[in-house]
Structure 1
């Protein structure tokens, strides 16, 4: 009789170990060619395989995607002749269209929501501004309640990304070569600092990421192919260092795109368009400094965006010009990447788990 519990344990362990866990991956694209909008894959978090590719929303140039905090709604910017921002309801990996409003600027390239999911900020690269929107409980987007212009006669503004951090809104302006700090006052965002850290000339800040405690910011610079690190202080931010994202022997033009921290915050990853690589840095958790440990080919052309899967074991790259997504295994011990395989997708621009 004693053997039965043991047999039941073995059978349960066998089925659990064989149970492949999948999660949906949404892909934003450019639709000037074969693409029709937003696509969805099933991603296996044990093997790294991508399967069941299908169109989930026909929409114009959804070049950047993000979720509401509750993941019941998905939001997309729409680059095109009529720049807009759209929202969709998420139901069993399917998307149902909810609303669309003007982005209030040309070439919207980024959207982010606050922690409560009732506000969104859209960065308009061509418009030189960013727009703020209220989000209804049902996921619909209200018309913009505030539009902030950065454009001046002397220097062209190219707002590329923005993120809410508590009552602050940080905005990367590639054209103005600065990361701005806005603070929420009386339901409006008011400028607090037009440059949280002094950037080297022609850096071109594009995207940035904070550590979980918000004490360190890492800014990836498109024009200089560098990452700038700063630490929060009582007065604001203190510059730490700027490091190159390129291999020492690389010759030619290259432009950074995206940046992400590993799940344990021990490593930083960045994408290089031109060198067509992912750079890997080991991060010092105490002082925030970075040590470069790898530049690995993306096995494609023009890695505009990349993401780390929910398990933290895989990194996926959207290669816009070569029309493919490449999958890499992450060594959690040393942070290094190993190429696994690729799938074809027309003009991928954004990956969202």
Structure 2
């Protein structure tokens, strides 16, 4: 009897292990993608897809939330909330809005909408602990920093940092804002500056190194940091370049700038987005006009870049792009050709090869859940 009981227990354990293994495998075989769009060309707002990791195809498109011009979206670190800016200037007079959604089993439930205190917000990001949310207002030329409650909702009356008063000879255009350690870093396309602010007793003030400077007319748009924080890579929209800054003690210094478009390219082109591969070995950027993803290999020691090549995006005006959580795929949102294109990423060589595409009106922001 004891023997039979042991056999039954072992069989039960084996069965449970198999079931749980299948569940894990099932989870790994699929990811959920949310897409922000512009809504003046047939889009209804934020969309949701299932992304098949085996085939590299986007499936089961649904409207996740009807909202005007959700041009940038971001999840809270715990994935319980999603924040979406509406890139408008008429939520109230000359301001856009940010909407907080609660995420319930990948469904979005609207919680609250409030002002961003500036026109045409184009970026939203969160701190690592989820307690702070920041919005960059492009036309407003400022950033708004919100405190987040336990449920993810945002407290009213954020701190607003105005860039328009910094330089009256240029037009401020805050384009991206990101928290790095105890600092807030803001790229201002109009000022050709990357501004730095430190958290002092819950308020952000100008850091000891108040700014990083790029070439006149470069137009810094997005940036990423290396895993060790030693290097800061900035993609410049207006002159189609990437500038590297290296950190020494607590300050960054520019060390190199690289072209993102081919030397024989004729016509206008404007950079958009920038991402590192999960292993930190490759840097990717999008060129709107040349309509390519530029690929660089990163030197482990110096942080400098070596051009690997450029891959056509199979569409027009590549805006935001993303690398899936496994690092196997790169997905590109082509705003003007109304499609999202999926590429397989060769982890060893960094190169991209076309896999699939799906139609969607004016996609501009891709975020995996």
Aligning the two structures, in what range does the TM-score lie when normalised by the shorter sequence?
A: over 0.9
Q: Give the structure 2 partner of residue 60 of structure 1.
A: 68
Cα distance in 2 between the residues matched to 1:46 and 1:89 = 29
Task: Please report the RMSD computed on the Cα atoms of aligned residues, expressed in angstroms.
Answer: 2.0
Q: Is the 8 A contact 1:100 1:141 kept in 2?
A: no
Does the 8 A contact of 1:229 with 1:239 survive in 2?
A: yes
Paired residues for 1:30-45 under 5 Å: 30-45=38-53
Partner residue of 2:83 out of 68, 72, 75: 75
In the alignment, which residue of structure 1 is the partner of 2:358?
Answer: 343
Q: In 2, Cα distance between the equivalents of 1:190 and 1:55?
A: 40
1:107 paired with 2:115, answer no
Q: Is 2:316 the partner of 1:301?
A: yes
| Aligned-pair CA distance for 1:240 | 1.5
In the alignment, structure 1 residue 154 sits paired with structure 2 residue 162: no
CA contact (8 A) 1:178 1:194 kept: no
Which residue in the other structure is 1:229 paired with?
244
CA deviations on 1:110-143 (whole Å, 9 max, x unpaired) are: 0111011111110000001111111111121111
- On the 8 A contact 1:101/1:142 being kept in 2, the answer is no
Residues 1:190 and 2:198 aligned together? no
Which secondary structure state, in structure 2, belongs to the residue aligned with residue 55 of structure 1? strand
| Residue of structure 1 equivalent to 2:157 | 144
Structure-2 change in CA distance of 1:183 and 1:97 (3 Å): same
Post-superposition shift, 1:17? 11
In the TM superposition, residue 105 of structure 1 has moved relative to its aligned partner by 0.4
3-state DSSP class of the match of 2:333?
A: strand
SS of 1:117's partner is coil
Matched, 1:26 2:34: yes
Q: Report the number of matched residues.
A: 345
In structure 2, the residue matched to 1:251 is 266
Contact (CA 8 Å) 2:245, 2:255: kept in 1 or not? yes
Task: Verify the 8 A CA contact 1:131 1:144 in the aligned structure 2.
Answer: no
Separation in 2, partners of 1:151, 1:172: 13
TM-score (norm 2): 0.90
**Pairs within 5 Å for 1:274-353:** 274-353=289-368
CA positional deviation for 1:201: 1.3
Which residue of 2 is the match for residue 126 of structure 1?
139
- The separation in 1 between residues aligned to 2:156 and 2:25, in whole angstroms, is 49
| Greater mean deviation of Cα atoms: 231-240 or 272-281 | 231-240
Kindly indicate whether the alpha-carbon contact (under 8 Å) linking 2:170 and 2:191 is maintained by their aligned counterparts in 1: yes
Confirm or deny: 8 A CA contact 1:180 1:193 kept in the other structure.
Answer: no
Measure, in 1, the Cα distance between the counterparts of 2:156 and 2:43.
28
Unaligned 5+ segments in structure 2 are: 1-10
Q: Where does residue 90 of structure 1 map in the other structure?
A: 103
- 1:197 deviates by 3.2
Q: Distance in 1 between matches of 2:183 and 2:224?
A: 14
Check whether the contact 2:297–2:305 (CA below 8 A) recurs between aligned residues: yes
Q: Does the Cα contact within 8 Å between 2:209 and 2:251 map onto a contact in 1?
A: no
SS at match of 1:256: strand
Separation in structure 2 between the aligned mates of residue 92 and residue 321 of structure 1, nearest angstrom: 31
> Is contact 2:284-2:293 (8 Å) kept?
yes
TM-score by structure 1 length? Answer: 0.94
Radius of gyration: which is bigger?
2
Q: How far off its partner does 1:93 sit?
A: 1.2
Distance in 1 between the 2:289 and 2:50 partners?
A: 29
